[in-house]
A and B are shown apart, each in its own frame.
Chain A
Amino acid sequence: MLWAFGFSLLYALHGIGCAGGWDEVAMAGATLFRWALVGTWCLLCLGAVALMRRAWAAPAGFERGLGLVSALAGLAAILVTGAPVVLTSACA
């Protein structure tokens, strides 16, 4: 759920940022576009870590294992699919 929401959010921000010219607004050594996307990605990663901690604290049993594996898969998916926002070109 978090991954699907995050991926859609990054996708939407990419479109809005390019259309709004955020990549031409210099900000703290990069651009507003880069900071907006990288910041969102970092928040999503932190959210996934928080979900993992919550799953970790759950009572032992099948549900705990399922929750942990799901949270780990979500965190990995967010890390991999969001990583390009750091390095790839902003708007062609």
Chain B
Amino acid sequence: MLHALGTAVPALVAGGCSGPLSTLDSAGPAARDVATLWWAMLAGATLLTLLVVALLALAFLRRARQGETGAALWIGWLGLAMPGVVLLALLGSALVLGERMIARSEPGLVVVEATGHQWFWDFRQPGAEGAIATRDVLHIPAGRPVHVRIAAADVIHGFWVPRLAGKMDAIPGHVNVLRIEAAQPGVFEGQCAEFCGLDHTGHRFRVIAHDEAGWAAFQRGEGP
């Protein structure tokens, strides 16, 4: 049993570091920022866990002297100062990353539309002769920022391509804008990230990032 656990747990943990829906296997600047913050939080959480375990062990090994409570150390430094510093650092980095991810106009920007339905996605991409509509497959150019205008036709859905960016809710009657970018051409899996009914699990889609020639061909209607 222990042997099986010893094999299965590292395999499961390592399995989360890559794969089509892994946020840690980032393939664009926004997803890379999210993954960096995640690694920093994991490192911090590991250090704090080790500290707590060490203190717990110390409590068994060493008895307090008569009248020694250490209230200032436990409540002041470890209870207030340390969490305060950690939370402020996290807040600061989240604000900086958030500013970097905000969907702003810039040269080379491509705007596409995504509409969530029970249980499929409709996409509209700019083409040479007007918008090109696709279902469950979103086409984007690689190496360029893309603003996805996200909406929903029925209930709230969640647009999420873990390797390209964070999540954004798709809300009926409201348009949210998410900035995504694929550093290299490729195929990226997407998943509805908000429970949207019985077939939520199967509410998947795919993002195809084209190179320059492929994107031009897609816009001319010669896409795959």
Chain A contact residues, CB within 8 Å of chain B: 80, 84, 87-89, 92
Is A80's CB under 8 angstroms from B88's CB? yes
Report how far A88 CA is from B99 CA in the complex, Å.
7
In the bound complex, residues from chain B placing their C-beta under 8 Å from that of A92 are 102-104, 177
Report how far A13 CA is from B215 CA in the complex, Å.
42
Is A84's CB under 8 angstroms from B95's CB? yes
A2 to chain B, nearest CB (A): 20
Is A88's CB under 8 angstroms from B95's CB? yes
In the bound complex, residues from chain A placing their C-beta under 8 Å from that of B95 are 84, 87-88
Given contacts A80-B91, A88-B99, 11 further A-B contacts (CB under 8 A): A80-B88, A84-B95, A87-B95, A88-B95, A88-B98, A89-B99, A89-B102, A92-B102, A92-B103, A92-B104, A92-B177
Report how far A32 CA is from B102 CA in the complex, Å.
21
Report how far A39 CA is from B88 CA in the complex, Å.
23
B156 to chain A, nearest CB (A): 18
In the bound complex, residues from chain B placing their C-beta under 8 Å from that of A87 are 95
Chain B contact residues, CB within 8 Å of chain A: 88, 91, 95, 98-99, 102-104, 177
Report how far A87 CA is from B99 CA in the complex, Å.
10
A-B complex: 9 closest residue pairs judged by Cβ atoms: A92-B102, A89-B102, A92-B103, A84-B95, A88-B95, A89-B99, A88-B99, A92-B177, A80-B88
B178 to chain A, nearest CB (A): 10
Report how far A80 CA is from B102 CA in the complex, Å.
22
B99 to chain A, nearest CB (A): 6
In the bound complex, residues from chain B placing their C-beta under 8 Å from that of A89 are 99, 102
Name the residue on B nearest A84 (C-beta).
Answer: B95
In the bound complex, residues from chain B placing their C-beta under 8 Å from that of A88 are 95, 98-99
Report how far A92 CA is from B150 CA in the complex, Å.
14
Name the residue on A nearest B84 (C-beta).
Answer: A76
Name the residue on B nearest A92 (C-beta).
Answer: B102
Report how far A40 CA is from B122 CA in the complex, Å.
42
B92 to chain A, nearest CB (A): 10
Report how far A89 CA is from B103 CA in the complex, Å.
11
Report how far A33 CA is from B88 CA in the complex, Å.
25
Report how far A89 CA is from B88 CA in the complex, Å.
19
Task: List 12 A-B residue pairs with CB atoms under 8 Å apart, sorted by A's residue number.
Answer: A80-B88, A80-B91, A84-B95, A88-B95, A88-B98, A88-B99, A89-B99, A89-B102, A92-B102, A92-B103, A92-B104, A92-B177
Report how far A87 CA is from B95 CA in the complex, Å.
10
B223 to chain A, nearest CB (A): 30
